[in-house]
Structure 1
Amino acid sequence: MLFRIKSFFNLKTKAKYGLPLVLMALITSQTNAQDNRSFQIFQFPANKIPTIDGNSEDWKIVPENYIVGMDQLWDDSGKQPKADPKNLAVSVKIGWVKGLNRLYFLYEAYDDYWDFSLPGLHNDTFELIVDADQSGGPFIDRFHPNPNLTNTMDAYFSYHGVHAQNYHIFTPAVEKDWTMVWGSQPWIKNLPYANASYKYDFKPGQGGKLTLEFWITPFDYAGNNPSRAVESILEENKNIGLCWAIIDYDDVNKTENNGFWNLSKEHKMYGNASYSLPFKLMPLEKQYKKEIDAKWSFKVVNMAKREVAFVDESEGEITSWNWDFGDGTTSTEQNPIHQYKEAGKYVVILKIQGPKGISQLSKVWDVAVK
């Protein structure tokens, strides 16, 4: 980093602007580069998936250490030197469910002046950036790396929002769709890719509390044609890139906002996924996990030879495995490959044992060969 600063601020630059400016640039670069914050995404048990109804009851099981509050945000517009809970107070919780490529959000906010009476972008907003595969880099048309495509419709349709997504979520949305997807893929805000619900009791210009509950589907590739889209695969212990800003309006007659409360230290995070922050998809909390739990999957590796590979996915401390392949044969290997002599549909059982007890799982006729 020092080499880059020295290269940029050569002797002529120093002579023209002086040493203080050089030091200021160095300090600014260090501040932005040294943002080592990371956050966590709560894993909901499969039997406790939140209902999207604007009610926060389902989220009470999420520990407080998962909350991202105003203490993590800063107003990079410079209009608000520090957060004032009498003016604006926001908390965000994020969840996921193993096996579903969905991100669940609970957005709770108090504002002393809710501005949402106009039909356009002048609306209190939760602007969310999603880069689930952490590919990074610019992703809006005005930042296109090819200067010939900057701010063109070609860039909009082929590039804007494709590898990372930007949601302008209106808080609340009245007589308008719940969010504007900033890009050429508005289909991602509708079912079966997203859903949202609000709860509030204030009118435009009044203060009060808003609860917004929603889920979205992250995409590694999301162009204007949904048939070509590639969903992001959410996996336990994986980091994904997220960021957001709260755009707060306090006067319907003023075109400028009253604050841009940013989670990132870089203002342009709204169009550059490199400025997002890592959020870890956490395992289940201990109280929702069995001490020993048999789980397994399989794959037919050669149908002509009736060869099936079995994969142990059990959880807990395990000392022994016992497979019953349903054809009168067994194995004590953890991940066996079995060859069936005859075609058929089989009941396969995995029994595991460890210091905490015994568990088994059978699957009826899942394994079938011909």
Structure 2
Amino acid sequence: MSDSSTRLALAVLLGCGCAHSTQAASRPDQQFEVFQFPKDQIPRIDGSFADWNLVPERYAIGLDQLMDTERGRGIDLDPADFDLSVKVAWVEGLNRLYFYYDASDDDWDFARSGLKNDIFEVVVDGNLSGGSFINTVHPHKDAFKKSDLHFMGHGEHAQNYHVFTPSLRKEWAMVWGNAPWIKDFPHANAAQSYSFQHGEGGRYQLEFYITAFDHADLRGPAYSTESDFRENGLIGLSWCILEYDDEGNTFEAFMNLAHDTEMVRDASSLCLFKLMPIEPELQPAIQANWSVTNIGTDRRSFKFEDRSHGEIQSWHWDFGDGNSSNEPSPIHHYTRPGQWVVRLSVRGPAGEDSLEKIWDVVTP
């Protein structure tokens, strides 16, 4: 079966529109939060981790939220054996998730090649499409040869990152899917810090970011679609820790946030995470901001939208052509050619501010 016919068969079998339907989530009574970094304080992936001091501790997700769903220990996990704190963040305008993973283990296992390594496994479903995404549980796997399954939507609508903790003489992660390019820069980046040897205990720190994709195509980013992250939006996300405390081939623990082993292969079993606004103390009390969209077929009609921060009580738009408006988000039609300087001035209880944009608006 050719690549094109394989993709066509998959589209027919899965109905083409499932990526826009919201599926059930694990732990529906629990909604976690994703911290928003201001644009001028985006964390550097450099292994120093100081940027994460900006994130309040209420965003940290610890061992008490995990459950061992494979070894029968449930939620009764011993922090003296393994402990962790995970913070997740985003930046408005970037469809990325930033992670800070801070863990302590009494026995780190990472000397072997291949998959057998202490693992932090992260799964993200940026548009809550849900459904299976690993080839071994493909809903129509019996209709295709096993050798074709890898190319059958494997990891396209949700992504699973098999993160090695620590990574030694191997890449920082392995992707469960047919689009391994998503773990490469600029779509992802990682930096780690540790001082222990294989088999020793100690503290491990890791920071990384990944890009979420509604469709991650095996042909590369030009054929793929990033998830569209918006403030107060919900995404599907979960992680698990596979702990190998000996030289065997079986992990000692499978601790996961979703409380469901299926999270590693079915996006319907992920948790809900909310993309939070910037914390009030990290923002000015009032700040003017706006955007503009050309809506006229004659290229002279524009929709101006207020995007200011703070409690705004009045607006004044100067369109640069002698006309103005006091509406929050007006529509304005220019009657002649020009390169226009447009200014929005806002007022509120905290004071006033203005923002001018030069030649964002040009009319023929």
TM-score if structure 2 supplies the norm length? 0.89
Secondary structure in 2 matching 1:287:
helix
The CA deviation string for residues 237-276 of structure 1, in whole angstroms up to 9 with x for no partner, is 0111001110001112x11111011111221110000110
Match of 1:210 in 2: 204
For 1:297 and 1:97, locate their aligned partners in 2 and report how far apart those are by CA, in whole Å.
Answer: 18
The 5-angstrom pairing of residues 164-243 of structure 1 reads 164-226=158-220, 227-243=222-238
Aligned counterparts of 2:312 and 2:67: Cα–Cα separation in 1: 47
Find the partner of 1:115 among 84, 104, 109.
109
In 2 relative to 1, CA 217–149 (structure 1 residues): closer, same or farther, beyond 3 Å? farther
Q: Which residue of the other structure, out of 306, 310, 313, is the alignment partner of 1:316? A: 310
* SS of residue matched to 1:174: coil
User: 1:28 matched to which residue of 2?
Assistant: none
| Mapped partners of 1:151, 1:269: distance in 2 | 25
Match for 1:38 among 26, 31, 34?
31
Q: 1:161 to 1:310 in 2, by over 3 A?
A: same
Whichever residue aligns with residue 230 of structure 1, its letter is T
Pick aligned residue for 1:301 from 295, 302, 309: 295
1:154 offset after TM fit, Å? 2.6
Distance 1:121-1:351 versus aligned 2 partners, 3 A rule: same
Distance in 2 (CA, whole Å) between partners of 1:38 and 1:258 is 28
Between the aligned partners of 2:286 and 2:142, the Cα distance in structure 1 is 59
Matched, 1:75 2:65: no
- SS of the equivalent of 2:101 reads strand
In the TM superposition, residue 345 of structure 1 has moved relative to its aligned partner by 1.1
Structure 2 Cα separation of the partners of residues 323 and 173 of structure 1: 54
Would you say the 8 A contact 2:241–2:256 is kept in 1? yes
Over residues 264-304 of structure 1, what are the superposed CA-to-partner deviations in whole Å (9 max), with x where a residue is unaligned?
Answer: 12211100001100010000111012222211110111252
AA at the equivalent of 2:214: D
Helix, strand or coil for the counterpart of 1:148? helix
Q: Hey, what does 2:12 align to over in structure 1?
A: none
Extract unaligned runs of 5+ from structure 1: 1-31
Q: Paired residue for 1:24?
A: none
- Counterparts of 1:195 and 1:292 in 2: how far apart (Å)? 34
SS in 1 for 2:110: coil
| Cα distance change on mapping 1:220 and 1:34 into 2, 3 Å | closer
Deviation at 1:127, TM superposition (A): 0.6
Q: Whose relative contact order is higher, 1 or 2, with alpha carbons under 8 Å and at least 6 apart?
A: 2
Aligned partner of 2:134 in structure 1 is 140
Is 1:125 paired with 2:119?
yes
Change (3 A) 1:151 1:126: farther
CA contact (8 A) 1:323 1:350 kept: yes
> In structure 1, what is the Cα distance between the partners aligned to 2:27 and 2:290?
42
Contact 1:136-1:272 within 8 A present in 2 as well? yes
Q: CA RMSD in A?
A: 1.6
C-alpha separation between the residues in 2 aligned to 1:363 and 1:176?
47
- Which amino acid counterpart does residue 72 of structure 1 have in structure 2? Q
Matches within 5 A, 1:20-99: 35-78=28-71, 80=73, 82-99=76-93
**CA contact under 8 A between 1:239 and 1:278: conserved in structure 2?**
yes
Q: Of 285, 299, 310, which aligns to 1:291?
A: 285
CA contact (8 A) 1:79 1:259 kept: no
CA deviation map 1:105-164 (0-9, x unaligned): 000110111111111000000011101101111111111111424772333213110110
- The aligned residue for residue 362 of structure 2 is 368
Question: Which one-letter code corresponds to 2:43 in the other structure?
Answer: P
Cα distance between partner residues in 2 of 1:63 and 1:224 = 38
- Which amino acid letter does the alignment assign opposite residue 149 of structure 2? A
Normalising to structure 1: TM-score of the pair? 0.88
| CA displacement 1:308-333 (0-9 Å, x = unmatched) | 11111112222211111111221112
Uncovered stretches (5+) of structure 2, i.e. residues with no partner:
1-24
2:293 equivalent to 1:328: no
Is this contact kept in 2: 1:142–1:151, CA < 8 A?
A: no
Report the 3-state secondary structure (helix = DSSP H, G, I; strand = E; otherwise coil) of the residue aligned with 1:290: coil
SS at match of 1:292: coil
**Residue deviations 1:34-68, cap 9 Å, x none?**
65111000001111111101222111111111011
Range 337-346 or range 201-210, more displaced: 337-346
The question of whether the paired residues in 1 share the 8 Å contact of 2:156 and 2:216 is answered with: yes
Q: Please tell me whether the aligned partners of residues 132 and 220 of structure 1 are also in contact (alpha carbons under 8 angstroms).
A: yes
Change (3 A) 1:89 1:324: same
Larger Rg: 1
Aligned residues: 338
* 172-181 vs 330-339, greater mean Cα deviation: 330-339
Letter in 2 for 1:243: S
CA spacing shift, 1:173–1:151, aligned 2, 3 Å: farther
Measured at CA, do residues 356 and 35 of structure 1 come closer, stay the same or move farther in structure 2, by a change above 3 Å? closer
Amino acid at match of 1:181: V
Quick check: 1:251 aligned with 2:223? no
Looking at structure 2, the residues matched to 173 and 315 of structure 1 have their Cα atoms a distance apart, in angstroms, of 42
Stretches (4+) displaced over 6 A? none
